[in-house]
C-alpha cells in the first residue's frame, strides 16, 4: 500500500471547525465579494478520497489483483479516518468489482480480477433510469452482433467453434426435453461464446452487456407465454457452419434474419413485455 500521504489527521471535522467562522468574518471585513475567486464548491468527501487513492494505486500498478489491503482497523488508522467511513469506500469498490471482502482471520480486502459483468449492471441501471430505451438497446445489439460476426469469422479458433458446437448440442437436448427456460440460458451462453470467439474482451464485454438484458426479455416472454423459437438448434447449426467456413456474408445474413424473427416474437404481444418485469427479477444464472 505505502500510503505515504497520511499525515495522521484525527478528528478532522473538529479541527476544521474554526475555519467556517474565520471565513465569515473575512467576508465581512472585506465587504462585498471583492475577489470572487470561487473556490471549489464541492467539498470532497472522505470516502471519495479513499476510493480515488486506492484506484490510483491500482492504476500505478502498486496494487495488483490478488493483493490484500491492510485490515480495516489498521487501514483506517493509516488514513486517519474512522473505520465506518473507510468501510463505505471499501463497499463502493466492492460493488465496482475492484475488491472482494473476505471474513475471518486471514481475511481482508483482496484486489479482484476485473469482473466484466459490471457493464451489465451499468446497462440495467441506464435502462431502469430511462436513460436508454429498449429500442436503442436492441438496435445497438443488432449492429454490434453484426460486427461480432465479422470479427468471429476472421478470428475464431477451433476451440471457440467447438464450444459453440457443444452449446448447440445442449440447446438440442433442452429442446428435446422441453426445458424451454434452460434453452434461453443456452442462447445467452451462445452469444457469450460467439462474442468470446472474436478474441477481443472489450467487444465481448459489450456484447454480453446488451445480450444479458435482451435475454431477460426473452426469458420473461418464454416464461409467460410458453412459446419458443422454432428450429433454433437447426438455425444455429447453419450459422456455425457458415462461421466455420469463414463465410462472413452468409453468417451475417443468417444471424440478422434470426434476430429479426426473435424481435418479431417479442413484439407480438407488447403488453406483456414490461420493462419492469424483465428487469426486476434476478433470474437464476442471470447474475452472480
Partner DNA sequence: GATTATTAAATGGATCACCCATTCAATGGA
Partner DNA sequence: TCCATTGAATGGGTGATCCATTTAATAATC
CB proximity list for 179: less than 8 A, separation 6 or greater: none
Where do we find the cell 412459446? 227
Using the contact rule CB under 8 A, the part of the chain among 132-140, 167-175, 243-251, 259-267 near a copy of itself is 132-140
C-alpha cell, 171:
440447446
Rounded to 10 degrees, the C-alpha dihedral 28/34/35/36 comes to 80
Does residue number 102 form part of the binding site for a copy of itself (CB under 8 A)? no
User: What span, in angstroms and rounded, lies between the C-alpha atoms of 182 and 160?
Assistant: 21
* CB contact at 8 A, 173 and 84: no
> Which residues, including other chains, have CB under 8 Å from residue 78's CB and lie 6 or more apart?
1, 3, 6, 70
The total of other beta-carbon atoms located within 10 Å of residue 278's CB is 21
Taking the complex as a whole, the smallest distance from the CB of residue 112 to DNA amounts, in Å, to: 14
Applying CB under 7 A, which part among 10-18, 52-60, 191-199, 219-227 lies near DNA? 10-18
Q: Which is nearer to DNA, 11 or 131 (CB)?
A: 11
Contact segment (CB under 8 A) with a copy of itself among 202-210, 217-225, 238-246, 265-273 equals 202-210
**Smallest gap from residue 198 Cβ to a copy of itself (A):** 9
Burial of 195 (0-12, 13-18, 19+ CB in 10 A): buried
Binding residues among 246-275 for a copy of itself as defined by CB under 8 A: 275
Residue 288 found at the interface with DNA (CB under 7 A)? no
Is residue 114 at the binding interface for a copy of itself, with CB under 8 A as the rule?
yes
| Residue 151 contacts a copy of itself per CB under 8 A | yes
Q: Which does 279 bind (CB under 5 to 8 A by kind): a copy of itself, DNA, none?
A: a copy of itself
Considering the complex, state which of residue 51 and residue 174 has its C-beta at the smaller distance from a copy of itself.
Answer: 51
Amino acid at each position: 500500500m505505502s500510503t505515504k500521504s497520511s499525515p495522521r489527521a484525527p478528528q478532522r471535522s473538529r479541527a476544521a471547525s474554526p475555519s467556517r467562522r474565520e471565513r465569515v468574518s473575512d467576508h465581512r471585513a472585506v465587504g462585498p465579494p471583492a475577489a470572487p475567486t470561487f473556490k471549489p464548491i464541492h467539498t470532497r468527501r472522505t470516502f471519495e478520497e479513499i476510493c480515488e487513492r486506492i484506484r490510483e494505486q491500482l492504476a500505478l500498478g502498486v496494487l495488483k489483483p490478488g493483493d490484500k489491503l491492510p485490515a480495516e482497523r489498521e487501514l483506517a488508522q493509516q488514513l486517519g479516518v474512522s473505520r465506518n467511513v473507510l468501510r463505505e469506500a471499501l463497499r463502493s469498490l466492492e460493488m465496482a468489482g475492484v475488491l472482494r471482502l473476505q471474513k475471518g482471520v486471514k481475511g481482508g480486502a483482496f484486489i479482484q480480477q476485473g469482473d466484466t459483468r459490471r457493464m451489465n449492471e451499468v446497462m440495467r441501471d441506464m435502462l431502469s433510469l430511462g436513460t436508454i430505451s429498449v429500442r436503442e438497446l436492441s438496435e445497438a445489439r443488432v449492429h454490434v452482433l453484426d460486427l461480432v460476426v465479422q470479427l468471429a469469422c476472421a478470428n475464431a479458433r477451433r476451440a471457440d467453434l467447438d464450444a459453440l458446437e457443444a452449446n448447440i448440442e445442449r440447446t438440442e437436448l433442452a429442446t428435446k426435453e422441453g426445458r424451454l427456460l434452460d434453452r434461453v440460458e443456452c442462447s445467452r451462453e451462445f452469444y457469450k461464446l460467439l462474442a468470446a470467439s472474436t478474441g477481443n474482451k472489450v467487444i465481448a464485454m459489450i456484447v454480453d452487456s446488451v445480450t444479458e438484458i435482451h435475454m431477460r426479455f426473452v426469458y420473461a416472454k418464454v416464461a409467460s407465454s410458453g412459446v419458443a423459437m422454432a428450429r433454433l438448434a437447426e438455425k444455429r447449426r447453419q450459422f456455425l457452419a457458415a462461421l466455420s467456413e469463414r463465410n462472413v456474408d452468409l453468417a451475417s445474413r443468417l444471424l440478422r434474419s434470426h434476430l429479426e424473427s426473435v424481435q418479431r416474437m417479442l413484439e407480438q404481444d407488447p403488453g406483456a413485455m414490461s420493462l419492469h418485469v424483465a428487469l426486476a427479477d434476478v433470474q437464476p444464472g442471470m447474475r452472480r
